[in-house]
Amino acid sequence: MRIGLDVGGTKIAGIARADDGTVLAHVRRATGSGGDAVLTGILDAAGELRAQLADPDLRSIGIGIPGLVDAEAGLVVHAVNLGVESLAIAEHVQRMLGVPCFVENDVKAAALGAAALRDDGAPIAYLNLGTGVAAGIIVDGRIWRGARGTAGEVGHFVVDPNGRLCGCGQRGCIETLCGGGALARAWGGAGELPVKDILDAADAGDDVAIALRDDLFRGAAAAVRALVLSVDVEVIVIGGGLTALTGRLEPGIHAALRADAAQSSFLRSLRLDERIEMLPADSPVAAVGAALLGSVPAKTIALDKEIIVHG
Amino acid sequence: MRIGLDVGGTKIAGIARADDGTVLAHVRRATGSGGDAVLTGILDAAGELRAQLADPDLRSIGIGIPGLVDAEAGLVVHAVNLGVESLAIAEHVQRMLGVPCFVENDVKAAALGAAALRDDGAPIAYLNLGTGVAAGIIVDGRIWRGARGTAGEVGHFVVDPNGRLCGCGQRGCIETLCGGGALARAWGGAGELPVKDILDAADAGDDVAIALRDDLFRGAAAAVRALVLSVDVEVIVIGGGLTALTGRLEPGIHAALRADAAQSSFLRSLRLDERIEMLPADSPVAAVGAALLGSVPAKTIALDKEIIVHG
């Protein structure tokens, strides 16, 4: 049995997973801010999961967490919305629980979970539409990091040189079009769910909201296109906070992809609108992926030298 | 010994390569138009290479050719600038020469050759700046095709919704900024080397030419950025017809990358201007890669199922 925890800014969602894929137990609890609160939350969530189980055989615990993760060292840095500057999670959790602990960026963990849940062998990207926009890429059943860990950072492709300024310093990044944070800033409303407010106002005919809604859909479509024209994954699984609006998001993204295809036989040949899959809101993919971290070594690109040398 | 031929619209460039990487012989000849002329050119070029060699042990012949290639079937379709609609190259060449023949898209073959010549194990992209713009991606020493063969098609990322119309039907593709064909159309001049004419006119102060020169440099920079933010290759090797202008191209691309980095600490952290390498004009990478086709199976993405199942 392996435990996987999705540690977010407001909550921890966790599962205990049998080796055959069966989910044996769930847990959901609030997250505190700061390193100590995060570690306490992780240990408490793991404890709650073990308490639910007869089988005591815990083989590993995996943590998916937003921020810059050094998976080999098992630490996270710049986990801004957790109030964490740097935290050696794996070392601490291993010492406390006596089992191997693996740490991964939450989007990459979710990608691994999404691929495991699909379980059809296809190379996929998990496109996370949340406050920010990023993708995790799974090839050969493993997380694709790339040479320096920036694989899947499609949120920072520039698609409009005259677009809104992005937090990254560029203008017109995909994230400025379809990132929840950027949309909320552009909208300026102070609601609980700014993107929902935007969609509601657009439905009511508000011109600014209609323009932002168009940005959301064409931004997501651009991210899908970018993933197929670079890595060429077979399927793009779309998840993240905005999938709470999936009933309104999915048709909009499909319409945007079809509108692009209508102008371009090249795009039509890619059949992009048949290659996206929306996750239901609160799908536990990140926790599932975190549970798998102990059994799936990440794909760090390395050359099979002899293939060339014996060429 | 393996033969590799780079079959282009105007010429065939070929090499004979020993298993240790030594180039044993070169050939260069004009290409005719149409299927028969292409096949004759291939057989004649192979014959010329063998005639130069004492060692008769030919293990394979590889063909890099522009167009849509079905590598498994060994045929090319839509090789427009060769006057070829569909041609079963491998079958014909194998029958005539009695050795295995492998066919690959020329950009993908060049990528394989560029990786072999670098021989440092890094995952690379070969970015071809020619009439069109496309990249070949090499991971684990193999050609990365992606799920449906569109990996590396960064020329058709849209980077400006108000940009020039692309042959693919979209507006503002990277190829409309830095593809030789698109630049020539935008310039309208009828010179031999339109991009050289544009750079000369820009140096002479022509405003239209200066704008097109800026497009060329920022388009190439956008392609480099896109490859790092998606696949995250370690190095981008830049080749193709435009490298005939490398002395003027390289500083311009570096300047464009540095200008982007100046606005964005995120881009600065990617050190893109340290990750590009320009090939000298007429570098034989495509022929070298073609020679390697017989010894390097292409990377067709497949899931190591058990990794997940035993999760």
Residue A29 main-chain phi, psi, to 5 deg = -150, 160
Residue B154 contacts A, CB cutoff 8 Å? yes
The pLDDT confidence band at residue A307, using thresholds 50, 70 and 90, is very low
Residue A49 contacts B, CB cutoff 8 Å? no
Q: What is the sign, positive or negative, of the torsion defined by CA atoms of B219, B225, B229, B230?
A: positive
Q: What is the pLDDT of residue A192?
A: 75
- Contact assignment for A168 to B234 by CB distance below 8 Å: no
Residue A202 has pLDDT above 70, yes or no: yes
Residue A302 has pLDDT above 70, yes or no: no
Residue A274 neighbours by CB under 8 Å, 6+ apart: none
Burial classification of residue A91, based on how many CB atoms lie within 10 Å of its CB (0-12 exposed, 13-18 middle, 19 or more buried)? middle
Which residues of chain B does A4 touch, with a Cβ-Cβ cutoff of 8 Å?
none
Q: What is the pLDDT of residue A305?
A: 26
Residue B95 neighbours by CB under 8 Å, 6+ apart: none
Smallest CA–CA distance from A118 into chain B, residue? B308
Q: pLDDT (tens digit, 9 = 90+) per residue, A102-126?
A: 999 999 999 999 999 998 889 999 9
Q: Which of B257, B227, B260 is nearest to A168 (CA)?
A: B260
Q: What is the pLDDT of residue B310?
A: 27
Residue A174 has pLDDT above 90, yes or no: yes
> Length of chain B, please?
311
Q: Which range is least confidently modeled, B67-71, B102-106, B216-220?
A: B67-71
Residue holding tokens 């190095």? B235
**What's the whole-number mean pLDDT along residues A133-144?**
94
Q: What mean pLDDT is reported for chain B?
A: 91
Burial classification of residue B68, based on how many CB atoms lie within 10 Å of its CB (0-12 exposed, 13-18 middle, 19 or more buried)? middle
**What's the whole-number mean pLDDT along residues B68-91?**
92
Q: Which of B226, B227, B235, B228 is nearest to B275 (CA)?
A: B235
In whole angstroms, what is the distance from residue A117 CA to residue A128 CA?
Answer: 16
Amino acid at B234: E
**In 10 A of CB A35, how many CB atoms?**
19
Smallest CA–CA distance from B146 into chain A, residue? A232
List Cα–Cα distances, B70 to B67, B89, B137, in angstroms: 10, 10, 17
| CA distance to partner chain B, nearest, from residue A55 (Å) | 17
Residue B1 has pLDDT above 70, yes or no: yes
Residue B116 has pLDDT above 90, yes or no: yes
Residue B307 has pLDDT above 70, yes or no: no
Q: What is the pLDDT of residue B78?
A: 85
Residue B106 has pLDDT above 80, yes or no: yes
In whole angstroms, what is the distance from residue B139 CA to residue A139 CA?
Answer: 12
What percentage of residues in chain B have a pLDDT greater than 90?
80
How much is the pTM? 0.92
- Contact assignment for B305 to A231 by CB distance below 8 Å: no
Q: What is the pLDDT of residue B192?
A: 75
Q: What is the pLDDT of residue B298?
A: 55
Residue A308 contacts B, CB cutoff 8 Å? yes
| CA distance to partner chain A, nearest, from residue B74 (Å) | 20
Residue B2 contacts A, CB cutoff 8 Å? yes
Give the helix/strand (H/E) hosting A11. Answer: strand A11-17
**What's the whole-number mean pLDDT along residues B224-231?**
97
Residue B299 has pLDDT above 70, yes or no: no
Which residues of chain A does B264 touch, with a Cβ-Cβ cutoff of 8 Å?
168-170
**In 10 A of CB B310, how many CB atoms?**
10
List Cα–Cα distances, A34 to A10, A31, A130, in angstroms: 12, 9, 22
Q: Which residue has the higher pLDDT, A192 or B140?
A: B140
Q: Which range is least confidently modeled, B11-15, B170-174, B280-284?
A: B280-284
Q: Which of A52, A6, A54, A48 is nearest to A31 (CA)?
A: A6
Residue A22 contacts B, CB cutoff 8 Å? no
Q: What mean pLDDT is reported for chain A?
A: 91
**What's the whole-number mean pLDDT along residues B177-191?**
90
Q: Which of B116, B147, B310 comes nearest A233 by C-beta?
A: B147
Contact A23, A16 (CB under 8 A): yes
Residue B143 neighbours by CB under 8 Å, 6+ apart: B104, B108, B111, B112, B136, B137, B296, B298, B299
**What's the whole-number mean pLDDT along residues B224-253?**
95
List Cα–Cα distances, A309 to A185, B236, B306, in angstroms: 54, 21, 30
Q: pLDDT (tens digit, 9 = 90+) per residue, B257-296?
A: 999 999 999 999 999 999 999 998 889 999 999 999 988 7
Q: What is the pLDDT of residue A303?
A: 28
Q: Which of B165, B151, B116, B121 is nearest to B279 (CA)?
A: B116
- Contact assignment for B266 to A169 by CB distance below 8 Å: yes
Q: What is the pLDDT of residue B309?
A: 25
Walk me through the domains of chain B, giving residue ranges and CATH numbers. Answer: 2-105 (3.30.420.40), 123-233+241-278 (3.30.420.40)
Q: Can you tell me whether residue A187 is helix, strand or coil?
A: helix
Residue B305 has pLDDT above 50, yes or no: no
Q: What's the complex ipTM?
A: 0.91
Q: What is the pLDDT of residue B294?
A: 87
